Structures are given as structure tokens and as C-alpha cells.
Amino acid sequence: MWYCGKGQERMKSKRVVVAMSGGVDSSVAAALLLDKGYEVIGVTMSLFSLPPDLCRSTELRSCCGWRAVEDANEVATKLGLPHLVVDFRREFEKSVIGDFCTEYRRGRTPNPCVRCNQHIKFDILLRRAARLGADFLATGHHSRVVRTRDWIPYHLKKGKDRAKDQSYFLYTLTQHQLSHLLMPIGGLTKKEVREVARKKGLRVAGKPESQEVCFVPQGRYPDFLRERIPEAFQPGPILDLDGRLLGEHQGIVHFTVGQRRGLRLSSSRPLYVISIDPTDHAVIVGPEDALLRKQFLASDVSWVSGERLKDKIWVKAKIRYQHKEAEALVVPFTPDKVVVTFVEPQRAITPGQSVVFYSRDEVLGGGIIDRVVA
């Protein structure tokens, strides 16, 4: 059982498990911790099985698969640390891939990276690290864990390299989890990380970054989903905002809010996907200005502090990873739901995506966009 007592210094405990994906970030994280005197154990997660022809492909940009395992093992050997491979395929299938398919069936656009961090890395892997006798789990995330003497002892902050910052994907972290997490590269830019790797003689120094969704090779979402949720490929109507029939589509999984390409409609002005109705398998389209909305309901809300929101709060909110944060008012609705209202309308607020709340460079919490209200 882990316990972090009052006033305990992190450096007093030496053993750390590093989640090694075979990429440059996690490799450098392991190297930096070794330099600081930690006893490092490298662990690579086996999360799903890729087709044999892709498994060892040099073109595959995935953080999973045997190519990633081999790269991680090579780094571990170079650094002189033990390396383990843990099989989490069953858990990943249930918690991440299953949810991914369910959300697309509902006409929503999920973010599996958030689910993977929440249920796999910082739940199952964190508990496995404890079983290995480790005091900490370390990752190669471009984010920072900061300890203070405030009433909230641990704070989650953006990484130094704002272009690579990954704090958006980590908003579900709890105080207990943060007390056992190390993110060694959060204070470095990507350029600096690669330079450290080169100085250490790590072959992964120039390795390309992994693709956004690791378990969908080459981004072929329809091919992946067709085998798992064929019912989501049922043809349906394409309607305008007044309910008039404009055409027909071949499955709601082909569309997301804000999309323009693939509609195959003849119109005097550009049309975009405004919303998706999974009950009637309908895709509703309209002009671009119809994508501008101000208010939505978010569910499954969590706060890094561990305290539920009791009163309204002003934040900077981010509605997808590449979205620029915007000022918004967050009002509690139920214990795990909030109403978010932007000062200025935002483009393509998408159900299924995560909304993350910031105060300057600190992550306050976040949730899943459930329903656009206005």
C-alpha cells in the first residue's frame, strides 16, 4: 500500500516504473531518472494486436505493437535497466476500444487517448507499479506535476513546450495518482528531449511521433469500425436545419461535427455537419455560422483537487486538443455534470470530446461534452 506522508520528499524513494512506449519522450524520461539516482524499471504495455504485415512496419506510427516493444527493449538495454512487457489487451479492449465503438454508435466523436490515460496508464499500470515495489510511475508526457504546501498538495500543469503540451489528456488525474507520478520531460521542449536522446546515444532520438489513435492503423476508422459495429453503417438521411431531405449517407460513423468533406451534396454554399441523430441515423447539415455555439452540458466531470464544484467558476476551457482555450463560465448541474457557457461562441462543439478547464497553466479538471444547448 502506497502512502505519502506529510512533508515526505519525493527523492527519498528510489524505485520507479517508467512506461516505455519505444518513443523518444519515454526513453529520455527513463534516462533522466537514472541520472537522478532512481532505480528504474522499464515497462511496455501490450494493448492490442496489429495485423502481422503492420506489426514490424517502419511506416507504422503507433506507440503499440511489437515494433514499439523492440524499440523500448533496445533503449532499456542501452541504459542498462530491466525491461518488462505487460499484457493489458483485455483491459484495453474493454475500457478503450469498447468505449470508442459505443461512442461512434451513438453518433459521438470520442477521445480514446483520454480513456487510455484514465483507465490503463494511471489505473491498471499504476497499480502494477505498486506490485513491483515501485514508489512512482513515470511517463513521457509533456506535462508537469508540481507539489506545493497549499490545501491542494499536487497540481497538474502544462509542459514547457506548449506546442507539445499533453495536459489536455490528463485531466482525470487524482491527488493520489499525482502523488505517485513523475513526468521528467515536462520541463523540456521537444527539441531538448531529442538532444538529450542524441547525447545518450539512443537510436530513437529521431523517431517520428506516434499517430493520434494507435489502434487504428493508418487512420482507417471506417475499416476498423465496420467489423465491430456494422449497424452504424446503416444508410440514413442528410437533412438541413429545417428538416428537408438533401441526400443520403452510408453510415453516421463517417461524420463528425464540423466536417465538410464527404457530404457529396450539391449546394450554392458550403455545408458542414452541424449535428448527428443516432436514433434516426440522420446527419444534419448547415452553413458554417451554424457551427458557432456557446453553451453545452458536460458529464463525467472530475476535478484535480478532488473537491466537487459547489459554485460557479470562471475558467479557460479547451473543447479539443488543438482548440485554443477560451473564457467560459462553469456552473454545477449535478455532482458529475456542469453547464459550460463561453463568453464568445466556439466552432464545432462536439459531443464525445473532452472539455478541459484551465487556470493559467494549471489543469483544474474536465469532463465529456454531452449535449450542446445553445
Residues taking part in catalysis: 116, 214
Q: For residue 100, which amino acid is it? A: F
CB 19 within 8 A of CB 72: no
Q: For residue 277, which amino acid is it? A: D
- DSSP conformational letter for 374: -
- Evaluated on CA atoms 139, 143, 147, 152, the torsion sign reads negative
List C-alpha distances in Å: 259 to 236, 308, 324.
17, 35, 18
d(Cα 13, Cα 39) in Å, to the nearest integer?
9
220-251: b or e for each residue (b if 16 or more CB lie within 10 Å)? eeeebbeeebeebbeebbbbbeeeeebeebeb
CB 275 within 8 A of CB 373: no
CB 39 within 8 A of CB 84: no
Helices (H), strands (E): how many in the chain? Answer: 10, 17
CA 203 to chain centre: 26
* Helix, strand, coil % over all residues of the chain, rounded to 5: 30, 30, 40
Per DSSP, the three-state class of 364 is strand
- The cell numbers describing 282, all together, are 440522420
